[in-house]
Amino acid sequence: MNEICCHYEKAILVERKWFFIFIFLSLIIPLLSFSGLLKPNCEMLGVWFQRSGAASVVFAIFAEFKADKMSNILNSDMVGPTFHKTYDKYLFQVKAYNYAAISFIVLGTLIWGYGDLLFKI
């Protein structure tokens, strides 16, 4: 692949790397808190899990920013000769990343608001 062909793809791949980092953090924080990792002794597990939802939402919002940046690359007005090849290759992925990030924002919000109720059953 020549340098011109890679311009758009390189930009998308950089944003995609950060997207996956933020989505991973958004997922792992509630999972680790659910196990009680790093929980203070005076804190109840349900409340600790519920609080992890706030951090999960923050990282999911960062992931959404990265997905939006990828979308902006694909919606550029100034395009080169290899733009359409990159557009066709990544359009479905970028849309999926946007939906995934929004799903993680919703999930984190539900944990943040109602996560302690899982432990009262």
Residue 115 DSSP symbol: G
Q: Are 61 and 107 in contact (CB under 8 A)?
A: no
Full pLDDT tens readout for the chain, 121 residues: 444 456 788 999 999 999 999 999 999 999 999 998 888 889 899 999 999 999 999 999 999 999 999 999 888 776 777 788 888 899 999 999 999 999 999 999 999 999 999 887 5
**pTM for this prediction:** 0.87
* Confidence (pLDDT) at 37: 82
User: What angle, rounded to 10 degrees, do the helices at 45-74 and 83-114 form?
Assistant: 160
Question: What tokens does 57 get?
Answer: 């939402």
Domain boundaries, the chain: 3-119
Q: Which two tokens stand for residue 41?
A: 């002794």
pLDDT of the residue at 3: 47
